[in-house]
Amino acid sequence: MKVYIKKHSFNAGKWIYEGYKSAWDSMGYDSYFYKDLSEINKEEEYDLMAIDADIKEDNLDVIRNSRRSYVYVQPNKFPSPWGQHPNWITLCSDKIIDKLNNLGNVYQWCFGRVADYHYKWSNVHYIPLAYDSINYEYIEDVKYQFDVCFIGGWADNGFNEKQKIMINHFAQFKNCDIKCGLFVNRGVSPEIEMKILYNSKVAINIHDAYQRHLGFDSNERTFKALGLTGLLVSDHVREVKKLFPDVPVSSDPVEMKDIVLELLKLEPEEMNRIKQKNRLYIRNNHTYINRVEKLLEL
């Protein structure tokens, strides 16, 4: 079996799909990145995508652009303001969705528990994001040790809500007598990111406003921070608590700061015990290899 994976050159998509590719490769499959479905051999793969010959080309365009299709806005059901923004509306027509729903060799899945907001799509499987146990390494380097760390970007989803959330949280650490490594939109390389996360004492995580409100998914940083740092404080997202009930959460900036300061008071032996426990749990249960195994079970 050949596996084709959409190529992302920036943002979280780059690390997510490179993690998936490494997992497929490690399990003995032939995996390939593609930018456009036209790159895939027509003889071998069109049987998976050609719903009707007369709409084949339109169908390819639709599938290629259906990355937002897991949310098909039902009037008055999907919360405002997100449901009214183009970033949240599927590009697939009703006709195409109906045909895809009835294809026996097509399995629909996404990164969040979105059943409450499905309108047209049926039988969509939930497979969370994960930790890249193949490409992420434990590299000790005291130059990259911080008391608290964060690495990420504004990730404007059309409303630029995350920027304000981040600033409100980070401002609380400004006058704390601790070493902070808060890198936002800094283009930190994967190699440096791994060193910062692994060598720092506590990692913090911030989600977007819609993730806090809906609670049906968690970002990649959740898994990366637990897998590398091993000690995480997150803002409150229902899915984070469901996946990791022991992770302390708070969407109140002052409370998040206080939780971090309390964790920094732990004795080194106790802190390391918690870190090792969380790292092992992630490696055993939440890697991209685990996710590929789940996909193969569908």
What fold, for 142-285? Rossmann fold (3.40.50)
pLDDT along the chain (298 residues), means of 10: 85 90 95 78 46 41 38 60 72 76 82 75 88 97 98 87 95 96 93 97 96 92 98 98 98 98 98 98 98 93
pLDDT the model gives residue 163 = 94
pLDDT the model gives residue 25 = 97
The overall longest dimension of the chain from CA atoms, in Å, is: 68
Residue 147: beta bridge partners? none
pLDDT the model gives residue 61 = 38
The answer for residues whose C-beta is within 8 angstroms of residue 293's C-beta and 6 or more apart is none
pLDDT the model gives residue 91 = 64
Q: Which of 92, 130, 128 is nearest to 109 (CA)?
A: 128
Q: Which of 244, 262, 159 is nearest to 205 (CA)?
A: 244
CB 35, CB 27: distance < 8 Å: no
pLDDT the model gives residue 59 = 42
Domain ranges of the chain: 2-131+289-297, 142-285
pLDDT the model gives residue 53 = 39
For residue 38, the number of C-alpha atoms closer than 13 Å in the C-beta half-sphere is 3
pLDDT the model gives residue 118 = 67
Buried b (16+ CB within 10 A) or exposed e, 35-61: eebeebeeeeeeeebebeeebeeebbe
pLDDT the model gives residue 69 = 40
